[in-house]
């Protein structure tokens, strides 16, 4: 592991952490201002396997359920840095389960993918206890979290050889939709992203660092849901519907393009949205017009599938 990459990761994700945690101090970030309550730190397994439940108050249930998995290159960030995402979806009348997972380099593959499978199995079993409807279940995540929710869709659609993925398939859990925001859908061969597209050196180093930290033993199929969708045989169960938002200035743009094409070839329901000029993580900058449009697009996508409590979606914040 090269020390300068640790510095780059700390600066990039540290800046996001400060912005997110600082924003959480604003009075309008309080869940009660939005008719939402937050239940913190429920365990879905040993160690750091913790999740928060964000749910509307005074709303008749059961309500649609969502599992949200944060980004951070499999190395950093948490459910606390992604409070805005959970709150925004909960405002739409959803019970949102926002989960942490073990992080690299201390916990390389398959730690995050194991934890994602365990979190989804927990949500399937316990959603009703918190007012959620596991039959109206969606998955959402950004960046590394986008990879994880796409991998969960793979595990729910093919019976995989990995024990943790096979257990999830055997549980019968069937998410109806996946919102994978600007995902890194293939962790291996990360240099593919800048072979034919010029990128600043610091961005290249950040991308390669994700692979080096999370896949120190080399390529692992379940870490690359894009390759599974491009290369695997027929599904055992129907794939959920996918919504894929990404900015055209995002270094991971090509992964979304390939993911859209792979899902289309399989006849899956997929809607990709490309937001001109926007960079990685742009949906977190809710004061920007295109970020607000992306949130409106996500809410409409969920509403079309009856995965929000109300047919008329609220703005992300307002």
Whether the pLDDT of residue 74 is over 80: the answer is yes
Whether the pLDDT of residue 8 is over 60: the answer is no
> Cα torsion for 277, 75, 188, 168, to the nearest 10°?
-110
| CA triple 98-102-105, angle to 5 deg | 140
Mean pLDDT, residues 73-96: 96
Instruction: Report strand pairing: 50-56 vs 95-99.
Output: antiparallel
- Distance from C-alpha of 194 to C-alpha of 203, rounded to nearest angstrom: 9
Q: What is the pLDDT of residues 165-219, one digit of tens each?
A: 999 999 999 999 999 999 999 999 999 999 978 999 999 999 999 999 999 999 9
pLDDT at 277: 98
Residue 314 lies in a domain: no
Residue 317 lies in a domain: no
Look at the chain and report how many structural domains it folds into.
1
Residue 185 lies in a domain: yes
Per-residue exposure over 37-50, b if at least 16 CB sit within 10 Å of its own CB, e if not: ebeeebebbeeebb
CATH of the domain at 92: 3.40.50.1820
Q: What is the pLDDT of residues 119-160, one digit of tens each?
A: 999 999 999 999 999 999 999 999 999 999 999 999 999 999
- 171, HSE (Cβ side, Cα atoms, 13 Å): 22
In angstroms, the Cα distances linking 106 to 4, 22, 41, 67, 76 are 18, 27, 22, 24, 11
- Distance from C-alpha of 85 to C-alpha of 66, rounded to nearest angstrom: 11
pLDDT at 117: 98
Q: Which two tokens stand for residue 274?
A: 């490309």
Residue 257 lies in a domain: yes
Residue 310 lies in a domain: no
Band of the pLDDT at 309, cuts 50, 70, 90? confident
pLDDT at 317: 67
Residue 311 lies in a domain: no
pLDDT at 23: 72
**DSSP per-residue letters across the chain:** --HHHHHHHHHHHHHHHHHHHHHTTSGGG-GGGGTEEEEEEEESSSTT-EEEEEEESS--S-EEEEEEE--STTTS--TTTTHHHHHHHHTTT-EEEEE----TTTS-TTHHHHHHHHHHHHHHHHGGGGTEEEEEEEEEEETHHHHHHHHHHHHHHS--SSHHHHHHHHHT---SEEEEES-----SSTTHHHHSS---HHHHHHHHHHHHHH-TT---GGG-HHHHHHH--S-SSPPPEEEEEEETT-TTHHHHHHHHHHHHHTT--EEEEEETT--TTGGG-TTSHHHHHHHHHHHHHHHHTT-SSSSSPPPS--
- Residue 237 is part of which domain span? 3-304
> pLDDT averaged over the chain?
93
Q: What is the pLDDT of residues 283-295, one digit of tens each?
A: 999 999 999 999 9
Mean pLDDT, residues 249-266: 98
Q: Which long-range contacts (CB under 8 A, 24 or more apart) does 169-174 make?
A: 169/236, 169/237, 171/121, 171/124, 173/120, 173/121, 173/124, 173/134, 173/137, 174/137, 174/237, 174/240
């Amino acid at each position: 592991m090269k020390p300068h990459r640790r510095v780059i990761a700390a600066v990039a994700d540290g800046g996001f952490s400060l912005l997110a945690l600082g924003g959480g101090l604003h009075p309008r970030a309080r869940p009660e201002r939005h008719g939402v309550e937050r239940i913190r730190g429920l365990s879905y397994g040993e160690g750091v396997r913790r999740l928060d439940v964000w749910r509307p108050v005074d709303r008749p249930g059961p309500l649609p359920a969502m599992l949200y998995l944060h980004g951070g290159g499999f190395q950093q960030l948490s459910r606390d840095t992604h409070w805005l995402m959970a709150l925004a979806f909960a405002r739409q009348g959803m019970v949102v389960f926002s989960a942490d997972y073990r992080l690299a380099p201390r916990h390389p593959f398959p730690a995050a993918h194991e934890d994602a499978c365990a979190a989804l199995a927990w949500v399937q079993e316990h959603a009703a206890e918190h007012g959620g409807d596991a039959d109206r279940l969606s998955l959402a995540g950004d960046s590394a979290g986008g990879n994880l929710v796409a991998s969960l869709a793979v595990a729910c659609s093919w019976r995989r050889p990995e024990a943790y993925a096979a257990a999830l398939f055997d549980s019968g859990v069937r998410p109806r939709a996946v919102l994978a925001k600007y995902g890194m859908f293939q962790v291996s061969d990360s240099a593919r992203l800048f072979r034919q597209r010029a990128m600043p050196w610091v961005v290249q180093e950040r991308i390669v660092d994700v692979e080096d930290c999370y896949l120190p033993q080399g390529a692992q199929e379940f870490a690359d849901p894009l390759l599974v969708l491009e290369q695997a045989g027929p599904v055992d169960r129907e794939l959920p519907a996918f919504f894929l938002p990404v900015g055209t200035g995002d270094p991971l743009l090509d992964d979304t393009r390939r993911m859209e094409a792979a899902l289309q070839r399989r006849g899956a329901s997929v809607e990709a949205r490309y937001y001109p000029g926007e960079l990685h993580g742009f949906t977190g900058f809710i004061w920007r017009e295109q970020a607000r449009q992306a949130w409106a697009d996500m809410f409409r996508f969920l509403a079309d599938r009856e995965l929000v409590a109300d047919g008329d979606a609220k703005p992300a914040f307002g």
